[in-house]
Structure 1
Amino acid sequence: MSVVSLPPTPGHARHYAIVPAAGHGSRFGSETPKQYLSLLGRPLLHHTLAVLCACPAIDRVFVVLAPDDDWWGGFDWSALGSKLETVRQGGATRAASVQAGLAAAATAAADDDWVLVHDAARPCLSASALNQLLQTLADDPVGGLLAVPVADTLKRSDQRDRVAGTVPRDGLWQAQTPQMFRYGLLRDALQRFPDVTDEAGAMEATGHVPRLVRGELANLKVTYPADLALAERLLATAPRG
């Protein structure tokens, strides 16, 4: 049974972005944390933060780092401007890092303000996809996320990596970020359900129904070395607008 949410309080809702960047990216197989790998001459994380910092609708961008992060200080982030704030209270999980970002925003954010959580390893988010998310969800009482419909045939495997069945793809979407929710609702959802893999999962667990906003295939998450090469080609050949 879904929760019926009250309409947001009239007025101008502010927007805050949180980028959890406390992980190492062990699946990538690099000694350098994935978010600091070089991408077109800058850290991968720089590209991720740049589109958020450049968005006029976003008031602040909180990047959540591990307390012992020795990498951040080795780069120049000044081009990103004054919106960017660092939070050195990242946790062992994504949800813990997002909660640290929410705590940092607590002095400024009202319950009906928006929070956009974006993966540190998604450097190819375009301004147009970001604006589509903001505009589509502007009057939504809960929020939603960028996602793309699953186009490929899906197979379920057995323990021997042989096909155990074909999964119908009708109605299936691949979740992306940013995921954008009302500050108060997201804070409460993550407090109740801290073991989820994304913010939408916490909202779903509380009974809310997030809205799916069609994103772009180019908004890939860099997980393996081949993804980094693809991200470089995408950024080099396409304007982020």
Structure 2
Amino acid sequence: MSSKVWAIVPAAGIGSRMQADRPKQYLLLNNRPVIFHTLSRLVSHPQIEGVVIALSANDPYWPSLNLPADWPVHTTIGGDERADSVSNALRLLQNLTDTNPWVLVHDAARPCIRHSDIDAMLQQLGNDPVGGILGVPLTETVKRVDANNHIEATVDRSGLWRAATPQMFRLMALSEALTQARQANINVTDEASAMEFMGLNPKIVAGHADNIKITLPQDLALAALFLQQQENGEAA
């Protein structure tokens, strides 16, 4: 796949589970905010034309990020929900390009994304009629529980995956899917859910397990370890 793609980063969330004084994407990881690492991985990929990031209104942390001047990063205002932020970013992107490019939507709090995983997505999805997402097959035993956390059943894990990002779809198709889901009052937790609502079947591309999403305080130390391992060329 030789054509350029764009990336979108929804970053208007507050990350309340971190119990920190700022959104998790602005917590320090190896002396840089998490989102700096994430954006660095995206803008340095040779096939990514640029990044559109959706920020909360009056975000007090973004101006102090001091991104390199040559990074092709564009900003817009996010919304109350992830889908709203992605939709706003897609609208801005339509003004930045006169084509219908592939778009990689990536979590701001996934700073360990590997270029090799992006390469795998571009290769496996470049000619796909729908697109798809990065994911990891489940290896742990899965339990279904009741409201009191008592186990009701052991779930067959074959065919079950943990959805991750990036999630890769065509600009216009994803924009339409998010619009249709919103009009139907469907709560989509990721972009693939919106495409599924349209009756489409995105593909999952296997990625590395170190592409973690920083959600809890202990995840910062784990991400730092993974970044170090990646720098040393160690598998994860």
Report the TM range for the smaller structure's normalisation.
over 0.9
Check if 1:156 corresponds to 2:144.
yes
For 1:136, give the aligned amino acid: Q
Structure 1, residues 19-60: CA drift from partner, whole Å, max 9, x if none?
000011011111111000000010000111111100111111
For 1:21, give the aligned amino acid: A
Check if 1:60 corresponds to 2:50.
yes
Check if 1:31 corresponds to 2:21.
yes
Deviation at 1:76, TM superposition (A): 1.7
For 1:82, give the aligned amino acid: W
- Identify unmatched segments of 5+ residues in structure 1: 1-10
Measure, in 2, the Cα distance between the counterparts of 1:109 and 1:193.
24
Structure 1, residues 50-82: CA drift from partner, whole Å, max 9, x if none?
111001111110111111101111222117x33
Check if 1:208 corresponds to 2:196.
no
Aligned residues: 229
Deviation at 1:160, TM superposition (A): 1.8
Structure 1, residues 124-182: CA drift from partner, whole Å, max 9, x if none?
10111111111111111211000111111001111221211111101001100000001
For 1:52, give the aligned amino acid: L
> Over the residues paired in the alignment, what is the CA RMSD in angstroms?
1.7
- What corresponds to 2:71 in structure 1? 82
For 2:54, give the aligned amino acid: V
**Alignment partner of 2:178: what SS?**
helix
Asked if structure 1 preserves the Cα contact closer than 8 Å seen for 2:36 and 2:65, the reply is no
Q: 1:239 aligns with which of 208, 231, 235?
A: 231
Identity of aligned residues (%): 45
Q: 2:11 aligns with which of 14, 21, 46?
A: 21
For 1:40, give the aligned amino acid: N
Structure 1, residues 185-230: CA drift from partner, whole Å, max 9, x if none?
1010000113200000000110111011001100011110111110
Asked if structure 1 preserves the Cα contact closer than 8 Å seen for 2:3 and 2:47, the reply is no
Q: 2:63 aligns with which of 73, 79, 82?
A: 73
Asked if structure 2 preserves the Cα contact closer than 8 Å seen for 1:126 and 1:240, the reply is no
- What corresponds to 2:173 in structure 1? 185
For 1:206, give the aligned amino acid: M
Q: 1:106 aligns with which of 94, 99, 106?
A: 94
Measure, in 1, the Cα distance between the counterparts of 2:232 and 2:67.
19
- What corresponds to 2:31 in structure 1? 41
**Alignment partner of 2:36: what SS?**
helix
Measure, in 2, the Cα distance between the counterparts of 1:118 and 1:83.
16
Measure, in 2, the Cα distance between the counterparts of 1:240 and 1:175.
27
Q: TM-score by structure 1 length?
A: 0.91
Q: TM-score by structure 2 length?
A: 0.92
- What corresponds to 2:106 in structure 1? 118
For 1:37, give the aligned amino acid: L
